[in-house]
Structure 1
Amino acid sequence: MTLQAAQNPARESASESQNSPRPADPKALYGGTGTRRITVHQIAAAKERGEKWPMLTAYDAMTASVFDEAGVPVLLVGDSMGNCHLGYETTVPVTMDEMAVLSAAVVRGTRRAMVVADLPFGSYQEGPVQALRNATRLIKESGVGAVKLEGGERSLPQTELLVASGIPVMSHLGLTPQSVNTLGYRVQGRGDEAAHQLLRDAKAAQDAGAFALVLELVPAELAAEVTRSLSIPTIGIGAGPDTDAQVLVYTDMVGLTGGKVPRFTKQYADMRRVLGDAAKEFAEEVTGGTFPREEHTFH
């Protein structure tokens, strides 16, 4: 303790208080102390508190368990599995059987995170009854806590029936990958007409009962306006910093994807290099006769 601090212990105490980390809010989605599954009510409360929170995709039990232990409050079993897990060129070929199996795995690998599953292309476009049948399957068979579907006004009947039937719905606007054959991969909502339509779609999704809204590849200014206009949380991916939450495809985040990745993605690790190095080291030890050693052997 310095002489000045000794002469003024109150100042030292205040300085220590300012420098020490603030205790986490026990109710926080990320960093909270709750151990039960995150619910839509907690997500709504986070919006009221102005709390920002993270969401990641997951497609298997082991990866999901890592993210759950890290405190990520919401995991999305996205139809992005088509690109980064199943080897398809787009999300369009993903089937309900694939979605159901992988969603169940993610649920089994988690304890606290809310698990949201996509309704894949062709599983809800026929109308509300088809949407209810497939969403019910994911709730009953896979154990997910909510489903996500693309589209605003065009998907309102589906959203309304699902919500009325007790199934929480997350909506998805902007770049909707299931519509890649008509939209392409480009920023959505540019220009006054497109921006007004996206805002109408967002409000319509909220009015239909959606508990949250994903905004993908949308101008940051428009995403901020949508966020201010809604009472439900917005989740951005390539939509700027002003949405209530942010989501990334986990294979992009950890550097597994390889090749060119979207501009909005930040790589937080280089797992492609780590796994490649591990595979090479294993292969070299096998071919060089140094694995397995005595400690890896039974007699």
Structure 2
Amino acid sequence: MRTTTADFARMKAEGRPIPMVTCYDYASALIVARAGLRFILVGDSLGQVMLGHDDTLRVSLDEMISHSAAVVRGAPDALVIGDLPFLSYAMVDDAVRSAGRMMREAGVRAVKLEGGRSMAPIVRRMVELGIPVVGHLGFTPQSAHQIGIRVQGRTLETAADLIADAHALEQAGACAVVLELVPAPLAAAITKRLKVPTIGIGAGAGCSGQVQVWHDLLGLFDRPPFRHARQYAAIGPAIEEALRGYAGEVTAGVFPTAANAASMDEGLVAEAVARFEAAEGC
């Protein structure tokens, strides 16, 4: 059965935590689906973890559509949420056009955008047109050059702003709100106030659910995990070991073996060579 945004609301109402993971390609989506995860975010973090950029700002809408479509093909029953990239939703018309392409061309069932009260009119119009929207508050990566990479909402003023922003997104029709790098007590207070679920990343256990970046939780990079992340496996070193083993066997001449190749009658090979040589006058 396909997962929808209605499952967000149902799980929040029933008090069931929502596990979500980022995913960026078909092969990874197959694994996510086999693991039974029903909520996937195709984040614009693909700019950093898949494309090697320093930030998310260089990711294009076409790239988001391409990666999101691959994930949908790998996990067709999951609720796949696609990020709207930087400046693709600055105005209502831009947002509707971008989200429409994400849903029509990639097949995502919801889109995510960053921002609070200033984005409420855009969210409201998208929802009116049948586009499910997930909000994103706290540390918003597309604004990293403006706000810095740090925990948001530590002061009375900024905490009150985050509460107001979350409320505005809910009132505008957002089906969920991601809270990134928000103090745990504040995130818990926002979660209790909202009817829609919150999805935390670095926002504590008081959120309705959690999202983690694929590469962080699997240990694909040669770096310590971020404070807000947990490494559940060391896949990166395992891949490296496998590649070293492959290269070593090729270098040593022990791969491939006869079992790795197709056979053919040697007489036919000799006849084919003779026919070629005769035709070429060799």
In the superposition, the TM-score normalised over structure 1's length comes to 0.87
Find out whether 1:81 has 2:40 as its counterpart: no
Cα shift readout 1:44-94 (whole Å, capped 9, x = no counterpart): 011110110200001111101110121111100100000100111100100
How far is 1:294 from its partner? Answer: 1.6
Query: Counterpart of 1:223?
Result: 187
In the aligned structure 2, how far is the partner of 1:260 from the partner of 1:178? 23
The number of residue pairs the alignment matches comes to 263
8 Å CA contact retained: 2:170, 2:194: yes
In the aligned structure 1, how far is the partner of 2:118 from the partner of 2:55? 22
Query: Counterpart of 1:135?
Result: 99
Query: For 2:8, which of 43, 65, 74 is the aligned residue?
Result: 43
Query: Counterpart of 1:176?
Result: 140
In the aligned structure 2, how far is the partner of 1:88 from the partner of 1:193? 33
Find out whether 1:63 has 2:17 as its counterpart: no
Runs of 5+ unmatched residues, structure 2: 264-282
Q: Secondary structure at the match of 2:200?
A: strand
In the aligned structure 2, how far is the partner of 1:157 from the partner of 1:231? 19
Q: Secondary structure at the match of 2:10?
A: helix
Give % identity: 46
How far is 1:258 from its partner? Answer: 2.4
8 Å CA contact retained: 2:18, 2:208: yes
Query: Counterpart of 2:163?
Result: 199
Runs of 5+ unmatched residues, structure 1: 1-35
Q: Secondary structure at the match of 2:154?
A: coil
In the aligned structure 1, how far is the partner of 2:261 from the partner of 2:113? 51
Q: Which has the larger radius of gyration?
A: 2
Say which structure, 1 or 2, has more relative contact order (CA 8 Å, 6+ apart). Answer: 2
Q: Secondary structure at the match of 2:113?
A: strand
Find out whether 1:245 has 2:194 as its counterpart: no
In the aligned structure 2, how far is the partner of 1:186 from the partner of 1:224? 19
Query: Counterpart of 2:114?
Result: 150
Cα shift readout 1:132-173 (whole Å, capped 9, x = no counterpart): 000000011111000000000121121011100000000000
In the aligned structure 1, how far is the partner of 2:226 from the partner of 2:56? 16
In the aligned structure 1, how far is the partner of 2:161 from the partner of 2:221? 33
In the aligned structure 2, how far is the partner of 1:148 from the partner of 1:63? 20
Q: Secondary structure at the match of 1:150?
A: coil
Query: Counterpart of 2:233?
Result: 269
In the superposition, the TM-score normalised over structure 2's length comes to 0.92
